[in-house]
A and B are shown apart, each in its own frame.
Chain A
Amino acid sequence: MELKEAIKRLVQRMGWDKEDNKMQLPEEFQKLLKMIANTKEVEFSCDDVYHLLDQYSEAVVQGKNAEELMPLVEHHIDICPDCREEFEALLRVLQASPV
């Protein structure tokens, strides 16, 4: 039996599709599934993002549509916790300095 079919039958048998009987995925599993779901064929690497991080961060602080201007940077920061930390730290510095 295909995995998908097996899961569907399991869900129906256990009544997990009923609103008052929803199950919750383990948190680690949720995190992993999210990452897999968000995976793209082409992604920026950490080095690519580091190269553009100053430009990207300024665009965010200035209210420009940075996600549209640099979608691959935005996507990488969403997936990579190390780069996200560095981006958020730079954002805090820039926000503390009036332009």
Chain B
Amino acid sequence: MNKHEYLTLCQLPIVNDAQLPKTEQPDCYTPRYNIQIMVDRTNEEWLADLKSDGPAKEAALADLRATILAGLPYALSNYLSPDNPQFKSLTEEVAQDTLLRAMDHLDTFEGRSRFTTWVQKIAIRIALTELRRRRWRDFSLDSLVEENEEGVSFPSLMIDPSPNPDGLTEQNDMLQQVSRLIEEELTDKQRQAMVATAIEGVPLEEVAKRMGMKRNALYKLLHDARLRLKQRLADEGLTPEDIWAIFESG
């Protein structure tokens, strides 16, 4: 690692929106200005300044806040444009929370990366957690699966219930057999979690919250579920690759 890292803080003038032609919102936002971050501290200097009292600490906190705010447009470019009215207040809140969390956990920084990278990681976790909360606030686990007489059912959404004139009911029959197998192996909790995350694409964090557990615990629950399914398929003499190979599109 270099003893001193010099990156130039340089902010080009922001083009006034009125001067820009109207363009469609890109799927992935590209910031209109180019920011390079000036960090004139080594990891050791960051830690020393942040652990001190007085002007050195204040300056370090201000620089760190600027670093976080400069990185967030890139971090959030897939989710929120700086033109969005929510952007400024969200990023200010994230920067503040990040500084607090970083200061609380300074002693856990192990120096395996740049200090600013470590802080940016914290900022991203905080920011994405909040965005996920907002995006999925109306989501309910109860809406996901249909209950049948036996309880929670693995998604019938994968099986086409309608009459199939092309003779594809046999395909459905096969998928139903495999789905039944899946249903038999998993606990209700595992089925619910798997449907929500793997099928419906709900973030683990949001599912975990609704199931009253931490994201880490949910990952382990799902890992166990996947192991069970893999073993059961193997017991039936069938690997996922076998099923895949049968149906692989040409």
Contact = CB atoms under 8 A, between A and B. Distances in A.
Contacts of A26: 158, 175
B204 A82 contact: yes
Nearest to A33: B240
A45 B220 contact: yes
Given A3-B236, A14-B167, A35 B198 contact: yes
Contacts, number: 167
Given A54-B118, A90-B120, A97-B37, A7 B174 contact: yes
A47 interface: yes
B170 interface: yes
Interface residues of B, number: 69
A8 to B, nearest CB: 8
Contact of A54 (B78, B117, B157, B226): B117
Which secondary structure dominates chain B's binding surface?
helix
Interface in A18-73: 19-20, 22-26, 28-37, 39, 41, 43, 45-47, 50, 52-55, 57-58
Which secondary structure dominates chain A's binding surface?
helix
Interface residues of A, number: 59
Interface of A: 2-8, 10-11, 13-14, 16-17, 19-20, 22-26, 28-37, 39, 41, 43, 45-47, 50, 52-55, 57-58, 80-82, 85-86, 88-90, 92-99
